[in-house]
Copies of this chain bind each other. A is one copy, B any other.
Amino acid sequence: MKLPFIALLALLPMAQAAADSFSEQDLKVARQAISRAQASDLAYELVASLTSEVGPRPAGSANDAKAVAWAQAKLATLGFDRVWIEPVKVDGWARISERAEIVAPYPQVMAVTALGNSISTPDAGINAEIAYYENLEQLKNDTSDRAKGRIAFVDSVFARSRDGRGYGKAVPTRFAGATEAGKHGAIALLIRSIGTDHDRLAHTGSMRYDEKIAAPIPAAAVSNPDADMIVRQLKSGKPVRVALTLKNEFKSGLQSHNVLAEIRGSQWPEQIVAIGGHLDSWDLGTGAIDDGAGIAITVAALKMIQESGVRPKRTLRVILFANEENGIDGANAYAAAHGKEKHQLIGESDLGSGKVFQISTNVREAALPALREIAAVIAPLGIELGDNSAGGGADLGPLIRQYSHPSVALAQDASEYFDIHHTANDTLDKINPVTLKQNVAAWSALIWLAAQAEVEFGPSLKK
């Protein structure tokens, strides 16, 4: 393709910059890591092993402890300089049984699942009429008493998109809906699953009660086809009654662990390039896309650098966080233990194996030329340069908010992620081996160059 003169000019700063921040040797190692990643099955083998040999691993469960042992053993086998665990206190919550059915006007059994942290119903269940709300706002703004003594049903629809932006908007319904429903006198909350699929599998996820506002009520999600069924039956004009039985179990003060590994830096070992994912998962699936993929991608990215045979100037660290799903406890524990260490860059992989399409950052201005050069190195992977106002994932939150550590986000294609997210469908077959490799390639080049840059990336911009 022939470029007009003006376009050639626009390319110059990038080309020039490329000569500024990194040596030819550093760029060569980055490109070799990309090639190595694209030929490596390591990430797939890791997520296959974790999902098959451990499977579901809710925080504080016996399987959570198995996952920690699995991770320690794997990381030791991979031969990193240091592998260790750090204790994380978690509150356990476990699903025992759940059942929901429409009992009138037209009886139908529904696919239902309790939201994480929901209390149980009475043993005999709850049998009450539905009070319909199109979304959380409508429930909040309801000044009538129609929710009183009823099951509030909140019907927010979550639309598919490449960047998964509908998720953030949908989550408050799940997280805080029970408190809002309780405040309006409802005796249970039922929500349309926060998911973009049409499967008879309900989506779980974390919720919390604000007992200062309302007494806790049981909270559950029905699958999208079952939410459609409720809506159709409501259209008959007849009252819709639902019977709901949930049995859940709480165990506070349990022990989990963050699992960590490092390749020690040669020049500035006290400066950390830290990436990771979360080791825990919900109980319904086997935690393949959420977040076996992130564990596999970030561990494999470090391994690709280790295999280059060249030691990075800064320390590369991978963090497998405990209990992201139901408390962000591992992230808080890491921040408390390591927040004061100098972090050159932090990053999180927690969106399955979808292709990375964009790199965005939150670093200081002086670091932007180096970041643009990194973006140029991974651009052949189909990754465009975003802006410098990246948000962090859940596990980066405490480090960014409390310590202003500089962060990077590799935005992944989330078009299909929320079909599967937090359901029994989260299994290994949902991992795309090709785009999984692309993720490893991008992260490996990125962390290597971040470790080599003369410029310090932090602190991040205030937001």
Contacts and interface: CB of A to CB of B under 8 A. Distances in A.
A198 B420 CA distance: 11
A285 B55 CA distance: 27
A119 interface: no
B52 A229 contact: yes
Contact of A108 (B198, B225, B286, B429): B286
A197 to B, nearest CB: 9
Interface in A272-304: 285-286
Contacts of A430: 198
Contacts of A52: 106, 108, 229, 232-233
A340 interface: no
B424 A200 contact: yes
Given A48-B232, A428-B225, A106 B201 contact: no
Contacts of A200: 201, 285, 423-425, 427
B429 A53 contact: no
Contacts of A428: 225, 228-229, 232
Nearest to A111: B424
Nearest to A107: B55
A237 B224 CA distance: 40
Interface in A419-454: 423-425, 427-430
A54 interface: yes
Interface in A200-236: 200-201, 224-225, 228-229, 232-233
A384 interface: no
Nearest to A54: B106
Contacts of A26: none
A65 to B, nearest CB: 14
A199 interface: yes
Interface in A80-133: 106-109, 111
A229 to B, nearest CB: 6
A416 to B, nearest CB: 11
Contacts of A225: 425, 427-429
B106 A55 contact: yes
A62 to B, nearest CB: 10
B427 A55 contact: no
A110 to B, nearest CB: 10
A309 to B, nearest CB: 32
Interface in A375-432: 423-425, 427-430
A429 B195 CA distance: 15
Interface string A329-343: 000000000000000
Nearest to A423: B200
Interface in A10-60: 48, 52-56
A135 to B, nearest CB: 20
Contacts of A229: 52, 286, 427-428
Contacts of A224: 429
Residue among A54, A286, A427, A428 facing the most chain B CB atoms (10 A cut-off): A427
A55 B108 CA distance: 7
A445 to B, nearest CB: 31
27 contacts: A48-B232, A52-B108, A52-B229, A52-B233, A53-B106, A54-B106, A55-B108, A108-B286, A111-B424, A198-B425, A198-B430, A199-B199, A199-B201, A199-B425, A200-B201, A200-B423, A200-B424, A200-B425, A201-B201, A224-B429, A225-B425, A225-B427, A228-B428, A228-B429, A229-B286, A229-B427, A232-B428
> Sorted from nearest, which 7 A-B pairs have the closest CB atoms?
A200-B424, A225-B427, A198-B429, A53-B106, A52-B232, A55-B108, A200-B425
Interface of A: 48, 52-56, 106-109, 111, 198-201, 224-225, 228-229, 232-233, 285-286, 423-425, 427-430
